[in-house]
């Protein structure tokens, strides 16, 4: 009988080996330090991350910043796709070699930071439809350069240069530079290119068409497009319908992302008065107290409750009833807030309802 597959269990990952060998895993950079790129997820940089990075680089101090990033992406390329929240720092996938695009980017940003290379995380939402992707930028030679650790990829005009290539950044790619025939996408983790969606994630169209897209952080507003179609008797979206087709619906406020919601309400009758009700469960985060939200309208006149205050001590405040008069069959209601961090401060919406006003 032929042996088709051999599964070996109990073999520690390189990171677990590091943990066993260092005397103490102490915090080097706090989880709220603005210089810590994974502080957006409240993950501290631990001494074990620094030791892991040193072992991966193997004392090669002469390596360029780009080469170091490639070493780290090669290490991340061995991670399986998935999630395992049972382990500390599961957002980085270090214990079990399991993560997805967000975890890969977190791991790359953390490892880069251990070498004094500034890094930041980026999200690319709603592209392809009902999905999205995460990547990482690092700063060296007076500019930001984008790397995609999921595919070990980067865009460059000098692909023949493996030591110091001219690696493009997010701003260039979002402006369409990836479509230039002079630009090459270098991919080193070819095994992860398995489906059409993988190629969509790789780009370059995702950098132009994702919505929203940009740098993560409580001070970086992201406007998530959402929609609701009028039905006879009204329309409701509740928690059971919060899925990837409605990205950004589960938060309003500042967490790892500064969430805004841009609602398109369709099928309305011009001149008719409506109520759009936002129901939340809690005000959460590190600030507490009042969470103040506002609404900006297009093709509608807001007649009541243009601003609202949510507070956990007042259960009635968890319902925000926005009254407006439609001026078109399609109305834009943008739910906003003025809070920009650095602490988390947000509400958890659980239902959105559209009704005709009495």
pLDDT tens-place values along the chain, 358 residues long: 344 443 444 456 788 889 889 989 999 999 999 999 999 999 999 999 999 999 999 888 799 999 999 999 999 998 877 655 555 555 666 755 667 899 999 999 999 999 999 999 999 999 999 999 999 999 999 999 999 999 999 999 999 999 999 999 999 999 999 999 999 999 999 999 999 999 999 999 999 999 999 999 999 899 999 999 999 999 999 999 999 999 999 999 999 999 999 999 999 999 999 999 999 999 999 998 999 999 999 999 999 999 999 999 999 999 999 999 999 999 999 999 999 999 999 999 999 999 999 8
User: In this predicted structure, what is the pLDDT of residue 5?
Assistant: 43
* Residue 156: C-alpha distances to residues 153, 232, 236 (Å): 10, 53, 47
pTM (2 d.p.):
0.91
User: In this predicted structure, what is the pLDDT of residue 106?
Assistant: 94
Contact 303, 324 (CB under 8 A): yes
Cα 59 to the center of its chain, rounded Å: 33
- Which residue spans within 44-129 are E strands per DSSP? 45-46, 80-81, 98-99, 119-125
User: In this predicted structure, what is the pLDDT of residue 16?
Assistant: 84
User: In this predicted structure, what is the pLDDT of residue 98?
Assistant: 64
User: In this predicted structure, what is the pLDDT of residue 75?
Assistant: 93
User: In this predicted structure, what is the pLDDT of residue 346?
Assistant: 98
User: In this predicted structure, what is the pLDDT of residue 84?
Assistant: 55
- What residues contact residue 82 under an 8 Å CB cut-off, 6+ apart? 98, 99, 100
* Angle (deg, nearest 10), helices 47-57 and 65-76: 100
User: In this predicted structure, what is the pLDDT of residue 350?
Assistant: 98
* Residue 173: C-alpha distances to residues 9, 135, 189, 201, 203 (Å): 42, 12, 20, 13, 9
For CA atoms 348, 354, 357, 358, the dihedral sign is negative
For the chain, the maximum distance between any two Cα atoms, rounded to a whole number of angstroms, is 77
């Amino acid at each position: 009988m032929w042996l088709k597959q051999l599964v070996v269990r109990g073999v520690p990952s390189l990171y677990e080996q590091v943990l066993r060998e260092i005397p103490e895993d102490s915090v080097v950079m706090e989880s709220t330090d603005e210089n810590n790129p994974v502080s957006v997820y409240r993950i501290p940089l631990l001494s074990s991350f620094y030791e892991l990075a040193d072992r991966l680089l193997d004392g090669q101090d002469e390596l360029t910043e780009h080469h170091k990033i490639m070493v780290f992406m090669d290490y991340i390329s061995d991670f399986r796709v998935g999630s395992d929240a049972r382990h500390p720092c599961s957002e980085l996938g270090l214990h079990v070699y399991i993560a997805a695009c967000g975890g890969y980017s977190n791991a790359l940003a953390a490892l880069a930071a251990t070498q004094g290379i500034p890094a930041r995380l980026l999200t690319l939402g709603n592209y392809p439809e009902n999905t999205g992707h995460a990547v990482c930028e690092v700063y060296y030679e007076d500019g930001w350069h984008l790397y995609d650790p999921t595919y070990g990829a980067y865009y460059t005009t000098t692909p023949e240069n493996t030591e110091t290539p001219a690696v493009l950044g997010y701003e260039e790619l979002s402006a369409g530079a990836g479509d230039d025939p002079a630009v090459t996408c270098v991919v080193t983790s070819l095994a992860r290119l398995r489906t059409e969606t993988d190629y969509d994630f790789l780009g370059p169209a995702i950098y132009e068409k994702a919505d929203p897209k940009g740098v993560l952080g409580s001070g970086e507003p992201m406007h998530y497009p959402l929609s609701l179609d009028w039905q006879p008797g009204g329309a409701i979206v509740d928690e059971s319908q919060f899925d990837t087709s409605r990205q950004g619906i589960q938060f309003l406020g500042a967490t790892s992302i500064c969430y805004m919601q841009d609602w398109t309400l369709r099928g309305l009758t011009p001149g008719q008065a409506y109520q759009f009700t936002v129901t939340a469960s809690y005000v959460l985060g590190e600030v507490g107290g009042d969470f103040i939200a506002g609404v900006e309208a297009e093709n509608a006149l807001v007649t009541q409750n243009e601003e609202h205050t949510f507070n956990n001590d007042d259960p009635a405040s968890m319902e925000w009833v926005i009254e407006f008069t439609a001026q078109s069959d399609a109305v834009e209601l943008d739910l906003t807030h003025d809070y920009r961090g650095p602490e988390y401060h947000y509400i958890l919406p659980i239902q959105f309802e559209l009704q005709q006003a009495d």
